[in-house]
Amino acid sequence: MTTIAVLGNGRVGGNLAQALTRAGHHVTAVDRAPGAAADAARSARIVINATPGAGSLERLADLRTELAGKILVDVSNATLDGPDGLPADLIYPGSSLAEQLQEALPGTRVVKTLNTMLFPVMTAPAALARTPTAFLSGDDPHAKQTVRELLADLGWQQEWITDLGGIETARATEAAVLFVPHVIRTSGFTPFALSISR
């Protein structure tokens, strides 16, 4: 059992918190209540960033002390929304939220994953008709291995997980969010994920 703090209790954070609790972990999901995120991060081994990506960097940079020595799993995408509320552009072109977080939190091991799919797929990958892919980006191999184990608890088979390399590779997966509004407009909110077929 691992102590996990999920920052953000919307659809993404709530879904992850419930699934990880069912898997036997001790999970605390927190909203924006003052001090709640700091308390949760301080007592957790793993912290999951499921806050809206546009404000994630500022929120998490304020938790530098609490996040020191922790694994930060970043599942958010930092985007500017279009008139319909769907992602229209990247906040960090030529970079990524994950890279910005790693730079702001040098004592924290940031791992990017689960950001190339609609949120139901994060905790039910086998529900899709074809095998999805979960990508990993991060500089610390031990942190990535821990996240692999966490993904397994969410139903991800190891052969469905692709390690892309260092944290700089997160800019590729974060850019993939620009596919999302076009797919949604043509197919609706039916769960989907990017997949590497070989």
Question: Would residue 146 count as lying in a domain?
Answer: yes
In terms of Cα–Cα distance, which of 137, 183, 176, 132 is closest to 154? 132
Domain annotation covers residue 193: no
Domain assignment of residue 197, yes or no: no
What is the tally of structural domains in the chain? 1
Residue 34: predicted pLDDT: 67
pLDDT at position 35? 87
User: So what's the pLDDT on residue 31?
Assistant: 83
- Residues (pLDDT < 70) of the chain are 34
Residue 183 pLDDT = 92
Domain containing 166 — which CATH number? 3.40.50.720
Output the pTM of the full model: 0.96
Task: Show the CA angle centred on residue 44, arms to residues 38 and 46, nearest 5°.
Answer: 110
- In a domain? residue 31: yes
For residue 97, the enclosing domain spans: 3-187
